[in-house]
Amino acid sequence: MLPVAETLELGVPGIEASLGDHICGLYAGTRQRDEMLIPFLEAGLLAGDKCICVVDATDPTTIIAELPATVDARERADAKQLDVMRASDMYLRSGRFSAAEIISVWKTAMSEVMYDGRFDAVRAVEAWSMQDVQPAPRELLMLESEMNRFLPLYPQVILCLYDMEHFGGDIVVDLLRTHPKMLFGGMVVENPYFLTPAEFLAARAGPNDTPAGEIEVVAEWCYAVTTGST
């Protein structure tokens, strides 16, 4: 078993993550999604990690076909090193989207991987476009927040990708509240706006709408990080 402090290559030169990391990446359209998703999976497969990909509005066979031939993605999928599944198959098993149910499914899946004994680490990527699966915003954000309690239990890294073409801009504030790290322009940065699950629950007990001033502050921080003007 790898030690918790061990770092993993994310597929982007010079970018690493530590086991237990919960990272959020923003994209616009399928091309930008795949620029993050494909290298992430490729690096994991080459490192011998268990790789899980949950994708919305894309057939799993398309993701497998887009991986470089050098990783033998089809063979790795057959050997259960690589699992690519539709978002609806992962998140709507009972017919409805429930954060508690999904966390339970993840825990069961991770337990099975660890019991299998072939893999020291798990890399999971979730790509959200709100097309095949359309959870209520509060339930989706509850899932993201509760993931932070679950992640330390197993040697894993989870990358959550959000298509900004299908989400309102104000969700960025809540994504920052629920993800300790952000992937911006080929770099992973610590997120100063992250709230623990307990803090997030307290914050969500207030008004539903995010204050415009808070959106502006976050937008300025995102711009500063991506332009290197911090």
pLDDT tens digits, residue range 122-137? 999 999 999 999 999 8
Query: In this predicted structure, which of 131-135, 160-164, 165-169 has the lowest mean pLDDT?
Result: 165-169
pTM: 0.89
Task: Check whether 175 has a pLDDT greater than 60.
Answer: yes
- Three-state SS string over the chain comes to CCCCCCEEECCCCCCEEECCCEEEEEECCHHHHHHHHHHHHHHHHHHCCEEEEEECCCCHHHHHHHCCHHHCHHHHHHCCCEEEEEHHHHHCCCCCCCHHHHHHHHHHHHHHHHHHCCCCCEEEEEEECCCCCCCCHHHHHHHHHHHHHHHHHCCEEEEEEEECCCCCCCHHHHHHHHCCEEEECCEEEECCCCCCHHHHHHHHCCCCCCCHHHHHHHHHHHHHHHHCCC
Confidence of residue 186 (pLDDT cuts 50, 70, 90): confident
Domain borders along the chain are 7-227
CATH 3.40.50.300 fits 7-227, yes or no: yes
